Amino acid sequence: MAGQDAEQLKAANDALGERVESMLSAFEQQTQQLAGLRDSLESIKAEGWSADKLVRVTANAGGIPIDVWIAPEAFKRSTPDRLSQSVAEASQHAARAAQDEAAAAVAPITDVADSMPDITDLTPGAPSVRGIFDSFIPKPADRVPSNDVTPEPVDTEDMGSVNWLKDER
Protein backbone atom coordinates (compact mmCIF):
# COMPACT_ATOMS: atom_id res chain seq x y z
CA MET A 1 0.00 0.00 0.00
CA ALA A 2 2.83 2.40 0.84
CA GLY A 3 4.42 1.74 -2.56
CA GLN A 4 1.17 2.62 -4.30
CA ASP A 5 0.85 5.88 -2.33
CA ALA A 6 4.42 6.79 -3.24
CA GLU A 7 3.70 6.12 -6.93
CA GLN A 8 0.55 8.26 -6.82
CA LEU A 9 2.44 11.03 -5.05
CA LYS A 10 5.25 10.86 -7.63
CA ALA A 11 2.73 10.95 -10.51
CA ALA A 12 0.95 13.95 -8.99
CA ASN A 13 4.30 15.68 -8.40
CA ASP A 14 5.37 14.99 -12.01
CA ALA A 15 2.06 16.35 -13.35
CA LEU A 16 2.44 19.50 -11.25
CA GLY A 17 6.02 19.89 -12.44
CA GLU A 18 4.92 19.64 -16.08
CA ARG A 19 2.20 22.23 -15.45
CA VAL A 20 4.68 24.62 -13.85
CA GLU A 21 7.14 24.11 -16.74
CA SER A 22 4.37 24.85 -19.23
CA MET A 23 3.39 27.99 -17.35
CA LEU A 24 7.00 29.18 -17.11
CA SER A 25 7.46 28.64 -20.83
CA ALA A 26 4.29 30.60 -21.58
CA PHE A 27 5.40 33.31 -19.14
CA GLU A 28 8.75 33.67 -20.93
CA GLN A 29 6.97 33.90 -24.28
CA GLN A 30 4.57 36.54 -22.93
CA THR A 31 7.45 38.52 -21.43
CA GLN A 32 9.14 38.68 -24.84
CA GLN A 33 5.86 39.73 -26.49
CA LEU A 34 5.27 42.37 -23.82
CA ALA A 35 8.55 44.08 -24.67
CA GLY A 36 7.39 44.61 -28.26
CA LEU A 37 3.87 45.43 -27.15
CA ARG A 38 4.99 48.41 -25.11
CA ASP A 39 6.53 49.97 -28.24
CA SER A 40 3.38 49.23 -30.23
CA LEU A 41 1.16 50.83 -27.61
CA GLU A 42 3.36 53.91 -27.40
CA SER A 43 2.93 54.45 -31.14
CA ILE A 44 -0.88 54.33 -31.07
CA LYS A 45 -2.52 57.65 -31.84
CA ALA A 46 -6.21 57.81 -32.72
CA GLU A 47 -8.30 60.77 -33.84
CA GLY A 48 -11.81 61.74 -32.92
CA TRP A 49 -13.93 64.48 -34.48
CA SER A 50 -16.85 66.43 -33.13
CA ALA A 51 -20.11 66.12 -35.07
CA ASP A 52 -19.86 69.78 -36.14
CA LYS A 53 -16.32 69.11 -37.51
CA LEU A 54 -14.96 72.07 -35.55
CA VAL A 55 -12.76 70.00 -33.21
CA ARG A 56 -10.33 67.12 -33.76
CA VAL A 57 -8.64 65.41 -30.82
CA THR A 58 -5.77 62.94 -30.98
CA ALA A 59 -5.46 60.47 -28.10
CA ASN A 60 -2.80 57.95 -27.05
CA ALA A 61 -3.42 54.25 -26.35
CA GLY A 62 -4.84 55.05 -22.93
CA GLY A 63 -7.38 57.47 -24.41
CA ILE A 64 -5.56 60.50 -23.03
CA PRO A 65 -5.73 63.53 -25.34
CA ILE A 66 -2.31 64.51 -26.67
CA ASP A 67 -3.38 67.04 -29.31
CA VAL A 68 -6.42 69.24 -29.85
CA TRP A 69 -7.15 71.08 -33.09
CA ILE A 70 -9.91 73.68 -33.31
CA ALA A 71 -11.04 74.97 -36.69
CA PRO A 72 -10.28 78.66 -37.19
CA GLU A 73 -13.95 79.36 -37.95
CA ALA A 74 -15.05 77.74 -34.66
CA PHE A 75 -15.10 81.07 -32.89
CA LYS A 76 -17.44 82.47 -35.55
CA ARG A 77 -19.73 79.47 -35.89
CA SER A 78 -20.02 78.37 -32.26
CA THR A 79 -20.46 79.57 -28.70
CA PRO A 80 -18.06 78.74 -25.85
CA ASP A 81 -20.58 76.27 -24.38
CA ARG A 82 -21.11 74.45 -27.69
CA LEU A 83 -17.40 74.50 -28.42
CA SER A 84 -16.63 72.93 -25.04
CA GLN A 85 -19.18 70.20 -25.81
CA SER A 86 -17.48 69.66 -29.18
CA VAL A 87 -14.12 69.26 -27.46
CA ALA A 88 -15.59 66.73 -25.02
CA GLU A 89 -17.30 64.84 -27.84
CA ALA A 90 -14.16 64.67 -29.99
CA SER A 91 -12.12 63.59 -26.95
CA GLN A 92 -14.52 60.74 -26.24
CA HIS A 93 -14.42 59.57 -29.86
CA ALA A 94 -10.61 59.67 -29.86
CA ALA A 95 -10.41 57.80 -26.54
CA ARG A 96 -12.71 55.02 -27.77
CA ALA A 97 -10.81 54.69 -31.05
CA ALA A 98 -7.47 54.57 -29.24
CA GLN A 99 -8.71 51.94 -26.81
CA ASP A 100 -10.04 49.84 -29.69
CA GLU A 101 -6.60 49.99 -31.37
CA ALA A 102 -4.89 49.12 -28.09
CA ALA A 103 -7.25 46.19 -27.50
CA ALA A 104 -6.50 44.87 -31.00
CA ALA A 105 -2.75 45.19 -30.35
CA VAL A 106 -2.90 43.26 -27.09
CA ALA A 107 -5.46 40.63 -28.18
CA PRO A 108 -2.89 37.95 -29.12
CA ILE A 109 -1.29 38.15 -25.70
CA THR A 110 -4.53 38.36 -23.75
CA ASP A 111 -5.92 35.32 -25.57
CA VAL A 112 -2.95 33.23 -24.42
CA ALA A 113 -2.95 34.73 -20.93
CA ASP A 114 -6.67 34.20 -20.43
CA SER A 115 -6.42 30.53 -21.34
CA MET A 116 -3.83 29.82 -18.66
CA PRO A 117 -3.82 30.09 -14.90
CA ASP A 118 -1.83 33.02 -13.60
CA ILE A 119 1.37 32.30 -11.68
CA THR A 120 -0.30 33.62 -8.53
CA ASP A 121 -2.76 30.70 -8.82
CA LEU A 122 0.10 28.30 -8.12
CA THR A 123 2.46 30.44 -6.08
CA PRO A 124 0.82 32.93 -3.74
CA GLY A 125 2.77 36.16 -3.60
CA ALA A 126 4.31 35.75 -7.08
CA PRO A 127 3.86 38.65 -9.51
CA SER A 128 0.66 38.47 -11.53
CA VAL A 129 1.18 38.40 -15.29
CA ARG A 130 -2.30 39.87 -15.72
CA GLY A 131 -1.50 42.67 -13.29
CA ILE A 132 1.71 43.52 -15.14
CA PHE A 133 -0.12 43.42 -18.45
CA ASP A 134 -3.00 45.60 -17.22
CA SER A 135 -0.51 48.22 -16.03
CA PHE A 136 0.63 48.84 -19.63
CA ILE A 137 -2.56 50.58 -20.70
CA PRO A 138 -3.60 53.60 -18.68
CA LYS A 139 -7.33 53.89 -18.15
CA PRO A 140 -9.05 57.12 -19.19
CA ALA A 141 -11.26 58.92 -16.74
CA ASP A 142 -14.84 57.63 -16.72
CA ARG A 143 -16.13 61.09 -15.95
CA VAL A 144 -16.92 63.63 -18.65
CA PRO A 145 -16.16 67.24 -17.68
CA SER A 146 -19.25 69.04 -16.51
CA ASN A 147 -20.41 72.29 -18.07
CA ASP A 148 -21.59 73.40 -14.61
CA VAL A 149 -18.13 74.67 -13.67
CA THR A 150 -17.92 78.44 -13.50
CA PRO A 151 -14.50 79.61 -14.69
CA GLU A 152 -12.53 82.20 -12.79
CA PRO A 153 -12.93 85.71 -14.22
CA VAL A 154 -10.11 86.81 -16.50
CA ASP A 155 -8.38 90.12 -15.81
CA THR A 156 -8.56 91.88 -19.17
CA GLU A 157 -7.01 95.19 -18.16
CA ASP A 158 -3.57 94.15 -19.40
CA MET A 159 -4.95 92.83 -22.68
CA GLY A 160 -5.64 96.22 -24.20
CA SER A 161 -8.49 96.53 -26.64
CA VAL A 162 -7.91 93.18 -28.38
CA ASN A 163 -11.07 91.25 -29.14
CA TRP A 164 -10.25 87.78 -30.45
CA LEU A 165 -13.83 86.78 -31.15
CA LYS A 166 -14.62 89.65 -33.49
CA ASP A 167 -13.47 89.67 -37.07
CA GLU A 168 -11.64 93.03 -37.31
CA ARG A 169 -11.07 92.90 -41.07
Q: Where are the domains of the chain?
A: 16-135
Q: How far apart are the C-alpha atoms of 136 and 115, rounded to whole Å?
A: 20
Query: Strand, coil or helix: what is 138?
Result: coil
Q: Which pLDDT tens digit goes with each residue over 57-111?
A: 999 998 999 999 999 999 899 999 999 999 999 999 999 999 999 988 888 777 6
State the chain's maximal CA–CA distance in angstroms.
102
pTM over 0.75: no
Angle among Cα 124, 130, 131 to the nearest 5 degrees reads 75
User: Is the CB of residue 109 less than 8 Å from the CB of residue 71?
Assistant: no
pLDDT value for 136 = 60
CA-to-CA separations, 89 to 1, 79, 101, in angstroms, rounded = 73, 15, 19
Give domain 16-135's CATH number out of 3.40.50.720, 3.40.50.2300, 3.30.1310.10, 3.90.280.10. 3.30.1310.10
Position 16 pLDDT exceeds 60: yes
Task: Give the residue with greater pLDDT, 57 vs 113.
Answer: 57
